[in-house]
Chain A
């Protein structure tokens, strides 16, 4: 029985096909485990037990009838940012605590169509704004490796759930690093695809030109399976790109001989924890063994990526969040005296401090007199950052480096109210990738003091297949990705 909960997506598909156990059985096992441990980790906000069992039973029936598709009946979780019909979709916010979505996000519809079983909706930083999952209305998420530490954010709930085997995989989103950084802190494989690869329809918007959906899994193979399912053109999303989705599984086994890896000198400079650096260099050595070559590159403007991001993202967010006004859905303040009171109190009470802070920064950056100096300036720097990557990709095929400057930090250790910037610098290696719209993933590269370290791999536009291939070959040669904090609470480093 316990074995069931160790299996990833690929293995589960085989087990179900072989009828080693049924979908209902594995779903029930996950639900029991969630029931036992979620109170502790706070990874799930909503558990959809009845729905999951109904989906599982439907998958079992289909399998018995020979009509099930390969992935039918496999349990997983959705980050609570994807609209799911009839199920609360709260986005980590009091503002949407009472919001029962009346439609499915495209990502949700695709996974439903594949017969996957949704266990529930995972916790996240409020409106995806955060790097530690401490801003959620539903309380912080604990890192299963060490419950005093953060799991990373904003997809902290998805990361903690996968790492603690409360689901084999989970969907997530990444605007500045929100998949990759939690993957790094929780020892997972997390991928953010090229901007436009996955539909944003039904994915609650934070920063429209940066948001992308992806997954958190325990292996590159699982990530490939789920990316295959989620990717593709969607006419309902104007920023969705009409390019065919390659077969990610088919290219997993490509040998890495001749792969040219670029190492940005800016990512190996001051601020990077030396123990983390050591593990990263070890990982790079592994790649050399696999036939790759290493070369230093320079991303000249990367030091400005966080600044540019913290203009663009809050600016777009400030407008995206204007719809939350207590009128048509969501939170409304009690007894509003007039319209202004309705708006101001509903929004003041419905949003948390970080969200309000970013709305105000964004509003300021767009306001009369500042638009050129802030917004336009940031978009110009964005162009330069993309050009830096393009230039680097003339000489190398992929860019690698640490995902985060250090391992998971302590809950409450960064006082965001006094110094929000310290938290913003958590994403220093990941943010530029979103600004340039490029695909990036993070894979486990070792443990420092028992805590996971992530290696970030960034590729050219539309190179998800290559990134997954590289990750997969690394995972065949190493076993960091198999380390999880165990199936019991409070025990870390157990295989």
Chain B
């Protein structure tokens, strides 16, 4: 029996506006509890909502980036339910007339193939506050700082067919929202949250199976694991003769299993109706075009341009284009040092390793784009070898100065004086007759011994190309 997993993802993205969706409270992360909760956020009697124009622009920006229909007349609705982190007793959201309609996202899978996944809609809604259960023995503490922060809920079509596809979709979405500058997309901080709707069906079956919703998975890795484990649970259940129940489940990362959320099993009747304290949000073509003008070059387009303009491979171009900051950094380096390939290697490999180790974003790079370009220029003009460059780079990371300053202070200039190298090599050949004999009798690997000796003698500064050429000449029988 071959099974197929059907997945739809609902991603909540916290929009990075300065103030909340309907009130002028700050949205800054990490403030003391309830210091960013105004009388509106606390749902005091008599308070009323007014829509944040920037949140609307961000939503429209997203819509344009996924090629979606933009709702020219969108409506906010009240979603009614009781929970302590929901001060009004209803969430102001959008039901039938969302700001963003149908669009799509094209993702590249591990095997290099691409798949276009439909996005059903994206709408704006208010975030809820936070419930803190650990602080008091008999009580739950409520912090409403987060209540009212603007969220964009992005709903995919149930067109995802594997956990890996799901992760690819999420990563692409994440990259896009960072590109657009509408959110910092930090899953660990909750500014991007993912719920997965998972169901299974026999291959060839066209009807959908009953789905379970796995809520609030907070990392890409956990999304993949949760989907796999849930799909298997459902398959096992059905094969044992059972039926999948439509319910909400939580993913337990420690046990790597999903668990039913009992309290949410009772079907909630949200009694949606249009928000009477707000009017329909009407936007015209001029508004949409003004937002379109703020769209950056999107990752797919940039990657294609990188391949064309810089001659990069598809893989390299995609990696560099995936994050806007990285792409901008790269282009600065490439244009400055005029070597696109070297720039790509240094950014993708050497710099990235440093950033990963210190858990830094490229925006916090200890080596600026100009400084890195400076280093690469010294490789290109043979002042130093690639190998020595790595030493210089390490020193630059430790804030010891610019490439030139370090090369100078440490005396790392490459020795390209062929006369000096020849002298060095003659001495080494004379001192190692055994190895010379071994090499000349056919043991080619011994060549590296000689290279090593030259490097040691020259403290790494001998120009490697010259060393190779002269050694080969001198060792020839």
A and B touch in the complex (CB under 8 A): yes
> When chains A and B are docked, how far (Å) is the Cα of A316 from the Cα of B88?
13
Minimum Cβ distance to chain B for residue A490 (Å): 36
* Cβ of A53 under 8 Å from chain B: no
The answer to whether B43 touches A239 (Cβ under 8 A) is: no
> When chains A and B are docked, how far (Å) is the Cα of A209 from the Cα of B272?
16
> When chains A and B are docked, how far (Å) is the Cα of A351 from the Cα of B459?
87
> When chains A and B are docked, how far (Å) is the Cα of A209 from the Cα of B279?
10
Contact of A203 among B39, B46, B89, B272 (CB under 8 A): B46
Q: Which residues of A contact B67 (CB under 8 A)?
A: none
The answer to whether B273 touches A319 (Cβ under 8 A) is: yes
Interface centre among B46, B88, B89 (most CB of A within 10 A): B46
* Cβ of B42 under 8 Å from chain A: yes
The answer to whether A315 touches B48 (Cβ under 8 A) is: no
Contact of B45 among A204, A238, A316, A366 (CB under 8 A): A204
The answer to whether A367 touches B89 (Cβ under 8 A) is: no
Minimum Cβ distance to chain B for residue A377 (Å): 13
> When chains A and B are docked, how far (Å) is the Cα of A13 from the Cα of B440?
119
The answer to whether A238 touches B279 (Cβ under 8 A) is: yes
The answer to whether A239 touches B277 (Cβ under 8 A) is: yes
> When chains A and B are docked, how far (Å) is the Cα of A319 from the Cα of B269?
13
Contact of A238 among B43, B50, B142 (CB under 8 A): B50
The answer to whether B269 touches A367 (Cβ under 8 A) is: yes
The answer to whether A328 touches B48 (Cβ under 8 A) is: no
> When chains A and B are docked, how far (Å) is the Cα of A235 from the Cα of B273?
24
Known A-B contacts A99-B45, A238-B277, A238-B279; the reply to A319 vs B80 at CB < 8 A is yes
* Cβ of B271 under 8 Å from chain A: yes
Minimum Cβ distance to chain A for residue B315 (Å): 50
Minimum Cβ distance to chain B for residue A361 (Å): 13
* Cβ of A287 under 8 Å from chain B: no
By beta carbon, the residue of chain A nearest B37 is A328
Which residues 223-256 of A have a CB within 8 angstroms of B? 235-239
Minimum Cβ distance to chain B for residue A260 (Å): 32
The answer to whether A322 touches B277 (Cβ under 8 A) is: no
The answer to whether A366 touches B89 (Cβ under 8 A) is: no
Contact of A371 among B48, B78, B273 (CB under 8 A): B273
Contact of B44 among A102, A209, A238 (CB under 8 A): A102
The number of inter-chain residue pairs (CB within 8 angstroms) is 99
The answer to whether B273 touches A238 (Cβ under 8 A) is: no
Chain A residues bordering chain B, tally (CB within 8 A): 42
> When chains A and B are docked, how far (Å) is the Cα of A93 from the Cα of B324?
56
Minimum Cβ distance to chain A for residue B268 (Å): 10
Which residues 337-353 of A have a CB within 8 angstroms of B? 339, 343
Q: Which residues of B contact A76 (CB under 8 A)?
A: none
> When chains A and B are docked, how far (Å) is the Cα of A323 from the Cα of B377?
65
* Cβ of B276 under 8 Å from chain A: yes
Minimum Cβ distance to chain A for residue B131 (Å): 10
Q: Which residues of B contact A82 (CB under 8 A)?
A: 46
* Cβ of B51 under 8 Å from chain A: yes
By beta carbon, the residue of chain B nearest A105 is B46
The answer to whether B50 touches A236 (Cβ under 8 A) is: yes
Q: Which residues of B contact A209 (CB under 8 A)?
A: 276
Contact of B84 among A238, A319, A327, A367 (CB under 8 A): A327
The answer to whether B278 touches A328 (Cβ under 8 A) is: no
Q: Which residues of A contact B273 (CB under 8 A)?
A: 315-316, 319, 366, 371, 375
By beta carbon, the residue of chain A nearest B271 is A366
> When chains A and B are docked, how far (Å) is the Cα of A103 from the Cα of B42?
13
* Cβ of B87 under 8 Å from chain A: yes
* Cβ of B447 under 8 Å from chain A: no
Known A-B contacts A209-B276, A339-B84; the reply to A363 vs B271 at CB < 8 A is yes
* Cβ of B90 under 8 Å from chain A: yes
Minimum Cβ distance to chain B for residue A203 (Å): 6
Minimum Cβ distance to chain A for residue B25 (Å): 14
Which residues 294-328 of A have a CB within 8 angstroms of B? 315-316, 318-319, 322-323, 325, 327-328
The answer to whether A201 touches B44 (Cβ under 8 A) is: no
* Cβ of B49 under 8 Å from chain A: yes
Contact of A323 among B45, B49, B51, B278 (CB under 8 A): B45
Q: Which residues of B contact A207 (CB under 8 A)?
A: 276
Known A-B contacts A238-B279, A239-B277, A367-B269; the reply to A91 vs B45 at CB < 8 A is yes
> When chains A and B are docked, how far (Å) is the Cα of A368 from the Cα of B43?
26
* Cβ of A275 under 8 Å from chain B: no
> When chains A and B are docked, how far (Å) is the Cα of A367 from the Cα of B80?
10
Q: Which residues of B contact A201 (CB under 8 A)?
A: 46-48
* Cβ of A200 under 8 Å from chain B: yes
Minimum Cβ distance to chain A for residue B41 (Å): 10
* A-to-B contact residues, CB < 8 Å: 82-83, 89, 91, 96, 99, 101-103, 105, 200-205, 207-209, 235-239, 315-316, 318-319, 322-323, 325, 327-329, 339, 343, 363, 366-368, 371, 375
- 21 pairs, CB–CB < 8 Å, chain A vs chain B: A96-B45, A101-B44, A101-B46, A103-B44, A202-B46, A202-B47, A236-B50, A238-B51, A238-B278, A316-B273, A319-B89, A319-B273, A323-B43, A323-B89, A325-B84, A327-B87, A339-B84, A366-B272, A367-B271, A368-B269, A375-B273
Closest 7 CB pairs between A and B? Answer: A322-B89, A208-B276, A366-B271, A323-B43, A209-B276, A202-B46, A204-B45
Known: A83-B45, A89-B45. 17 other contacts (CB 8 A): A83-B44, A101-B44, A103-B39, A201-B48, A204-B45, A204-B46, A207-B276, A208-B276, A236-B50, A238-B48, A238-B278, A239-B276, A316-B276, A319-B90, A363-B271, A371-B271, A371-B272
